[in-house]
Amino acid sequence: MSSEKTSSGQLFEYILTHHRGLFATVFLLPISCLYTGFVYLRNHVLFRMRSAPARHEQRVLEVVRQIEQWQQDGAKEKLCTARSGWQTMSEMVPKYKLSRRNIHIDLYDILSIDEERQTVRVEPLASMGQISRTLIQRGWILPVVPELDDLTVGGLIMGFGVETSSHKWGLFQSICVAFDLVTAEGKLLHCSETENSELFHLIPWSHGTLGFLVAAELKIIPARKYVRVAYEPYTTLNGLTEAFDRASRDTDHNEFVEALMYSRESGVLMTAVMTDQPQDDGPINAIGRWYKPWFYKHVEGLLGHGHSRVEYLPLRDYLHRHTRSYFWAMEEIITFGNHPLFRFALGWALPPRIELLKYTETETTRRLREQHHVVQDMLMPMALLKPSIEYFDDHFDLYPLWLSPMAVFENPKHLGLIHPYRLPDGRLDEMYVDIGAYGTPKKPGFDGRKALPELEQFVIDHQGYQALYAKTLLSEKDFRRMFDHTDYDQLRESLPYCKQAFGEIYDKVSSKGRISPVEMRKLKSNEVPAE
């Protein structure tokens, strides 16, 4: 019996490793569609039945009650949210949830929209898809709308959220007006620029190590029906990086800026603005329809034509233009996914659920991923964009590269885990660029286990930052070199019960707190003892 079980397991691993595209098409997509249907029912039908913004205070009191119970029980374990780690966007899974006390935070509502103040108040588990659909119906949109519908407000605030409007508005946390936080003491604190301002500026990037977020107030701006996108191909690195820098700093004329690099010297710069009325300078392109080419392939085709072009994309199509193909990661899962026949027949089923992609990882695919695959976002000073691209080309040879500009604003008290870039002459430059590298590098002899630590050192040495949803191999010392812990440490010392309830950020994002999906399955089946 055991030999039959072993044989079937080996066959399953062989199929997943060597025929992943076939497996994804025949099995994963149908299961993913069923799961998406379940999620839709949960998020729309059951949500409407259970949604009750008026019960927000009651739900917050339930969070407080759980923390008070933890204190009464001796405050022995550390705390974390009860939300499943499989739902995160990271390719890793939180191991710490197995050994910490789970606090149930059933907070998923849009609480109120204040059109006069141009703000929306939401609970932390409200998702980007939920918020954008609600706001667009009323003629509004968040200034920064990260790509995937399932991303939650809490995750984007406590972690990292960027989009092509971030050159103007900053990272997702920069559009936040206020936070409501339940501390480990069991107190509900309102945090803003004027109230508990130290907490307000240190909650972003803190990964839930200062308290439990229970509400956030976000800026909103008027929405328009279309986004006018101007595509400008470049065939020299100097030309593209200089144009990208200029466009990113021209916030008066460019609401959105991004670039896709297809080689060391070639790429396409895209600048865009919202509009209600398309002009005759370009066609309408509903790029979000299931049968349309994947966006990055569409852009690559424009590079081949060698001349500029204008298109009008429906607003939601633009906001989620990379979703169907998970940027370009889908090409390595379903290699024929962009073929016209596949798009026409099954394009509507894309993308498969991230949770299922993680759950079907095998020991072999894990080893191959760690050695040969890259999923990283490095946030580099705009002034160092050219040498950063040269570094990626020299050490990875991985294309496309996604370039998304982002402002890192300094607050009057200089609080926060990240800060603007200090130029050699001492001046501060707030403009950074997110360099997204996703896929299999073509550099001969590439080994991610060696290349990632070297990349992290390059980022530290050049005052950059690593997006912490991705895997990090930083030591705790280097992690503290990358992220400024000065005020964060002092705040944790001053907050009652904080250090008892929560580990440090590093404890949650490093290999201490995260493991591969394969290792998590082993832990859950008691094949490997939990730490």
Q: Which domains does the chain have, with CATH numbers?
A: 2-50 (no CATH), 54-81+102-222 (3.30.465.10), 226-323 (no CATH)
Over the chain, what is the mean pLDDT?
89
Per-residue pLDDT tens digits for 339-369: 999 999 988 888 887 777 777 777 777 777 7
- The whole-angstrom separation of Cα 134 and Cα 123 is 14
Q: Which residue has the higher pLDDT, 81 or 526?
A: 81
Within 266-389, strands assigned E span: 267-275, 309-314, 374-381
Overall average pLDDT of the 215-226 stretch: 98
- Is the predicted pLDDT of residue 18 greater than 80, yes or no? no
Residue 19's alpha-carbon distances to 11, 14, 309, 313, 359, in angstroms, are: 11, 8, 39, 35, 16
Overall average pLDDT of the 211-225 stretch: 97
When pLDDT is cut at 50, 70 and 90, the band that residue 14 belongs to is: very low
Q: Which residue has the higher pLDDT, 24 or 83?
A: 83
Per-residue pLDDT tens digits for 53-76: 778 999 999 999 999 999 999 999
- The whole-angstrom separation of Cα 289 and Cα 77 is 48
- The whole-angstrom separation of Cα 327 and Cα 300 is 13
What is the residue-wise DSSP string for 121-136? Answer: EE-TT-BHHHHHHHHH
Per-residue pLDDT tens digits for 36-54: 777 666 556 555 555 677 7
Handedness of CA 197, 198, 199, 205 (dihedral sign): positive
**Helices then strands (H, E): number in the chain?**
23, 21
- Is the predicted pLDDT of residue 4 greater than 70, yes or no? no
pLDDT at 528: 46
Q: What is the SS3 assignment for 338?
A: coil
Radius of gyration of the chain from Cα atoms?
Answer: 23
Evaluate if pTM is beyond 0.85.
yes
pLDDT at 92: 74
Share of the chain above pLDDT 70, in %: 90
Q: What is the SS3 assignment for 62?
A: helix
- Is the predicted pLDDT of residue 213 greater than 90, yes or no? yes
Handedness of CA 248, 158, 469, 87 (dihedral sign): negative
Closest CA to 106 of 171, 159, 154, 173: 154
Overall average pLDDT of the 81-87 stretch: 76
Closest CA to 201 of 429, 490, 467: 490
When pLDDT is cut at 50, 70 and 90, the band that residue 89 belongs to is: low
- The whole-angstrom separation of Cα 148 and Cα 156 is 11
Indicate the DSSP class of residue 77: S
Whether cis (ω within 30° of 0) applies to the bond prior to 340 is: no
pLDDT at 7: 52
Whether cis (ω within 30° of 0) applies to the bond prior to 412 is: no
pLDDT at 86: 64
Handedness of CA 30, 35, 38, 40 (dihedral sign): negative
Overall average pLDDT of the 264-287 stretch: 96
Task: Select the highest-mean-pLDDT range: 14-18, 25-29, 319-323, 405-409.
Answer: 405-409
Residues in the chain: 531
- Is the predicted pLDDT of residue 531 greater than 50, yes or no? no
pLDDT at 508: 92
**Which of the residue ranges 111-120, 190-199, 354-363 would you say has the lowest mean pLDDT?**
354-363
Share of the chain above pLDDT 90, in %: 69
pLDDT at 97: 83
Q: Which residue has the higher pLDDT, 448 or 382?
A: 382
**Which of the residue ranges 174-183, 386-395, 406-415 would you say has the lowest mean pLDDT?**
406-415
* Contacts of residue 44, Cβ cutoff 8 Å, sequence gap at least 6: none
When pLDDT is cut at 50, 70 and 90, the band that residue 304 belongs to is: confident
